[in-house]
């Protein structure tokens, strides 16, 4: 019985909690890496500088931790990060709980462009540390990562507070997304759901919501799953100490 329980916990401990978005699961992918990004902000030059600096910091962390070339910042690209002053109307998302969203458009088998829309009316986005976390999270969405069940991951549905940086689960998820994207690029894979000569807006990737306890069903489910994984890890550590 003890061996059986040990085997179950051993399998569980090696199961990653990251998820990928439905459009990525359906076979869509980026045609090339790195993905060019730009900040789109015409009303406030200081805000634009801040968003560019935080975006560069977030990109730097993802790339330093994964060893991958994922994004580069270039002016005037079609993939943008922007500050929304009318977030609820633009996205139809709850402006009280949602800090940002990522939107991807597909064309043929590819992700044609992406847009990170930051909720400019949310008080948490006024804090630079929280805003950095939000941008880091949304960059993960642009690569096809969905919300993680690991509550300490930056890709968890709730905001890290304080920001602790990328989790191993984030790194594993990004490595998977990148390598799978490369495989599709090399083979010229075409999804059965690819649209010929038509750009299609994919469903929003729900961005970072507020702190743990925010009233969102998806966040609650992911949080519960993350707590279960954490519990399994503790039990596994306890079993290891007995052996």
Tell whether 127 is covered by a domain. yes
Q: How far apart are CA 156 and CA 100, in angstroms?
A: 14
Q: Quick one: pLDDT at residue 150? A: 95
Q: What mean pLDDT, rounded, does the chain reach?
A: 82
Q: Which residues contact 7 (CB under 8 A, 6 or more apart)?
A: none
Overall number of domains in the chain: 1
- 89 has a pLDDT exceeding 80: yes
Q: How far apart are CA 233 and CA 169, in angstroms?
A: 14
Length of the chain: 243
Tell whether 1 is covered by a domain. no
Tell whether 118 is covered by a domain. yes
Scanning the structure block, which residue is given the tokens 């790194």?
171
Q: Quick one: pLDDT at residue 234? A: 42
Rounded mean pLDDT, 224-239: 42
Least confident of 142-146, 157-161, 184-188, 210-214: 210-214
Q: Specify the CATH number for the domain of residue 113.
A: 3.40.390.10
User: Alpha helices, DSSP H only, in 128-197?
Assistant: 128-142, 168-187
- 7 has a pLDDT exceeding 60: no
Query: How does strand 71-73 pair with strand 110-119?
Result: unpaired
Query: In 34-183, which ranges are E strands?
Result: 35-40, 71-73, 80-84, 100-108, 110-119
Rounded mean pLDDT, 152-166: 92
Tell whether 242 is covered by a domain. no
Q: Quick one: how far is CA 39 from the chain centroid?
A: 18
pTM of the model: 0.80
Rounded mean pLDDT, 36-63: 97
Q: Quick one: pLDDT at residue 209? A: 55
Tell whether 87 is covered by a domain. yes
Tell whether 139 is covered by a domain. yes
Closest CA relative to residue 162, chosen from 189, 129, 192: 129
- 111 has a pLDDT exceeding 70: yes
Least confident of 97-106, 154-163, 188-197: 188-197
Per the rule left: phi > 0, alpha: psi between -120 and 50, beta: everything else, 142 is alpha
Do 223 and 212 contact (CB within 8 A), yes or no? Answer: yes
First to last CA, the chain: 14
Tell whether 11 is covered by a domain. no
Q: Quick one: pLDDT at residue 25? A: 94
Q: In the structure encoding, which two tokens stand for residue 117, read together?
A: 């829309």
Question: Which residues form the domain of 66?
Answer: 16-224
The one-character DSSP state at 157 is: S
Tell whether 243 is covered by a domain. no
pLDDT band at 31 (very low <50, low <70, confident <90, very high): very high
Backbone φ and ψ for 127, nearest 5 degrees, come out as -90, 125
Least confident of 12-16, 53-57, 89-93: 12-16
Query: What pLDDT, in 10s, does the model give residues 52-79?
Result: 999 999 999 999 999 999 999 999 999 9
Q: In the structure encoding, which two tokens stand for residue 42, read together?
A: 């015409």
- 171 has a pLDDT exceeding 90: yes
> Residue 116: helix, strand or coil by DSSP?
strand
């Amino acid at each position: 019985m003890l061996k059986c329980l040990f085997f179950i916990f051993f399998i569980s401990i090696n199961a990653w909690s990251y998820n990928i978005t439905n459009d990525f699961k359906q076979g869509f992918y980026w045609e090339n890496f790195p993905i060019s990004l730009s900040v789109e902000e015409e009303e406030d030059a200081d805000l634009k500088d801040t968003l560019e600096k935080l975006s560069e910091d977030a990109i730097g962390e993802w790339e330093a931790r994964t060893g991958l070339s994922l994004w580069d910042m270039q002016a005037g690209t079609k993939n943008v990060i922007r500050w929304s002053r009318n977030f609820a109307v633009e996205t139809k998302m709850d402006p009280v709980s949602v800090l940002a969203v990522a939107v991807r458009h597909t064309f043929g088998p590819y992700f044609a462009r992406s847009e990170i829309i930051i909720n400019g009316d949310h008080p948490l986005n006024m804090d630079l540390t929280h805003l950095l976390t939000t941008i880091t999270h949304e960059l993960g969405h642009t690569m096809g990562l969905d919300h993680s069940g690991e509550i300490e991951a930056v890709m968890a549905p709730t905001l890290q507070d304080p920001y602790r940086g990328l989790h191993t689960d984030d790194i594993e998820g990004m490595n998977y997304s990148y390598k799978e994207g490369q495989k599709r690029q090399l083979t010229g894979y075409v999804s059965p759901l690819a649209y010929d000569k038509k750009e299609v807006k994919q469903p929003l990737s729900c961005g970072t919501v507020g702190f743990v306890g925010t009233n969102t069903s998806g966040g609650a489910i992911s949080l519960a799953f993350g707590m279960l994984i954490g519990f399994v890890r503790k039990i596994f550590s306890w079993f290891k100490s007995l052996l």
